[in-house]
């Protein structure tokens, strides 16, 4: 790596680290104020509360790093263009795109790092954050894994394969009735359970009752009430835990759903997004380079940061639309997940083609 490339990379990484740290602090500050009333109401001690926000840092980094890299690209290259240093580089016979190649490499490394972090670090950290909510904020105990949604109630344990997007129905429901300390007294299974306004009820349920003598009595029930479950809004928050699953776990979960005959299309869009969304770190650098080189001499740092936010929100807007289309089965899940990447890579490549060497 040449001296010029090393210098550009060092400035870029320095600014990226500063921007990322600033965005993380801003994100956590907003989160603190949003949760302050809950913490005071439940009298949460300082140390567990601090741990809750620390657990969320890996997830936050994955969300803000693309904007941080884009800001670093604009500021580092923009200042060089503004001070005429890029003109000197061209005058020295150095190709501009070759000089900024390490920035693109850094974007690829960041994308790979976020993919690995989302697979091995973020899921376990977010599970700890969810455990904090259940312990200190009184939320119903529940978790999401390869077998679907698991919820602990006062009557036993519920397992549901998935939930409708509007939260009105549960699919693949199995309710285990358990008495303390841990004695199974029955089990109920139904393909569908719906919210009836005040409780969840299985439309048609197969119920087994376990007697003290070891017998299992089977019966068919209509409108069987599933006791102790939260309302749909809280259930939907639990069901969204699948967004915090790694790629491998979510893929296995989808396979199990399809094997048992349940619809899994909306989860496939999230599955491919585990790979497509982290690539935005590279894409933001790719798009930022030509913009920074073209606008750097006429605009300052504030303009560069503002343009970075506009580009980032443009990507997230397209991503939200295509993700919604994919979950609604209007667009194939793979295309829904990768279309924003394809679009912005095309824009970046087109813009780079106009960069004056």
Which pLDDT score is estimated for 82? 66
**185, 175 in Cβ contact below 8 A?**
no
pLDDT at residue number 247? 93
Q: What is the mean pLDDT of the chain?
A: 87
Would you state the structure tokens that stand for residue 95, as one six-digit string? 């190709």
Over range 288-299, report the average pLDDT.
72
More confident residue, 299 or 347: 347
Do β-strands 183-195 and 169-179 pair in parallel, antiparallel, or remain unpaired?
antiparallel
Which H or E run contains 17?
Answer: helix 3-41
Alpha helices in 42-82 (DSSP H): 46-55, 57-82
Placement of tokens 């001690």 in the chain: 45
CA 238 to chain centre: 14
pLDDT tens figures, 331-353? 999 999 999 999 999 999 998 87
Is the four-CA dihedral 344, 347, 348, 349 of positive or negative sign?
positive
Tokens of 340: 């924003």
Whether residue 241 has pLDDT greater than 80: no
Q: Which residue has the higher pLDDT, 330 or 85?
A: 330
Distance CA 257, CA 172 (A): 9
- State the average pLDDT over residues 10-16: 95
Look at residue 30 in the predicted model and tell me its pLDDT: 96
Measured at the alpha carbon of residue 82, what is the angle toward residues 81 and 88, in degrees to the nearest 5? 45
Q: Which two tokens stand for residue 163?
A: 């939930």
Letter string b/e over residues 109-119, b meaning 16 or more CB atoms within 10 A of that residue's CB = ebbeebbebbe
**Poorest-confidence range of 175-189, 195-209, 213-227, 291-305?**
291-305
Contact 148, 259 (CB under 8 A): no
Q: Indicate the pTM of the whole model.
A: 0.82
pLDDT confidence band for 357 (50 / 70 / 90): low
Count of alpha carbons within 13 Å of 354, Cβ hemisphere only? 12
CA distance 157 to 175: 6
Residues forming a β-bridge with 60: none
Predicted confidence (pLDDT) per residue in 300-309, tens digit: 566 767 777 8
Which of the four pLDDT bands, split at 50, 70 and 90, describes residue 95?
confident
Q: Is pLDDT above 60 for 299?
A: no
d(CA 131, CA 244): 14
- HEC profile of 141-182: CEEEECCEEEEECCCEEEEEEEECCCCCEEEEEEEEEEECCC
Instruction: Among 108-117, 141-150, 154-163, name the most confident range.
Output: 108-117
| Residues forming beta bridges with residue 158, ordered by sequence position | 151, 175
Please state whether the peptide bond connecting residue 181 to the residue before it is cis, i.e. omega within 30 degrees of 0. yes
Does 1 score more than 70 pLDDT? no
Token pair for 232: 């749909």
CA-nearest of 121, 13, 115, 25 to 73 is: 13
Tokens found for residue 295: 């606008």
Per-state percent for the chain, helix, strand, coil, to nearest 5: 60, 20, 20
């Amino acid at each position: 790596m040449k001296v010029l490339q090393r210098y550009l990379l060092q400035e870029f990484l320095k600014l990226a680290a500063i921007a990322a740290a600033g965005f993380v602090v801003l994100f956590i500050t907003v989160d603190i104020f949003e949760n302050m009333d809950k913490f005071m109401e439940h009298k949460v001690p300082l140390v567990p509360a601090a741990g809750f926000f620390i657990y969320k840092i890996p997830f936050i980094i994955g969300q803000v790093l693309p904007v941080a890299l884009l800001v670093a690209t604009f500021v580092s290259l923009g200042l060089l263009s503004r001070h005429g240093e890029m003109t000197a580089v061209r005058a020295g016979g150095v190709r501009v795109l070759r000089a900024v190649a390490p920035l693109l490499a850094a974007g690829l490394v960041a994308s790979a790092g976020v993919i690995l972090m989302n697979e091995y670090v973020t899921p376990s950290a977010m599970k700890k954050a969810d455990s904090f909510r259940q312990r200190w904020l009184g939320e119903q105990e529940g978790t999401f894994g390869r077998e679907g949604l698991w919820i602990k109630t006062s009557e036993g344990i519920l397992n549901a394969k998935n939930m409708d997007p509007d939260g009105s129905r549960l699919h693949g429901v199995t309710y285990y009735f358990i008495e303390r300390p841990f004695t199974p007294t029955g089990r109920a299974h139904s393909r569908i359970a719906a919210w009836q306004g005040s409780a969840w009820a299985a439309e048609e349920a197969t119920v087994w009752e376990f007697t003290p003598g070891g017998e299992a009595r089977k019966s068919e029930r209509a409108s069987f009430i599933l006791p102790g479950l939260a309302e749909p809004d809280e259930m939907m928050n639990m069901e969204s835990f699948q967004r915090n699953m790694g790629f491998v776990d979510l893929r296995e979960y989808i396979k199990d759903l399809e094997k048992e005959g349940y619809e899994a299309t909306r989860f496939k869009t999230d599955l491919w997004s585990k790979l497509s969304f982290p690539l935005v770190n590279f894409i933001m650098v790719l798009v930022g380079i030509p913009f920074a080189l073209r606008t750097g001499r006429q605009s300052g740092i504030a303009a560069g940061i503002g343009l970075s936010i506009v580009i980032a929100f443009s990507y997230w807007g397209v991503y939200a639309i295509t993700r919604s289309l994919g979950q609604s089965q209007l667009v194939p899940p793979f295309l829904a997940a990768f279309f924003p990447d394809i679009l912005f890579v095309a824009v970046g490549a087109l813009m780079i083609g106009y960069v004056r060497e």
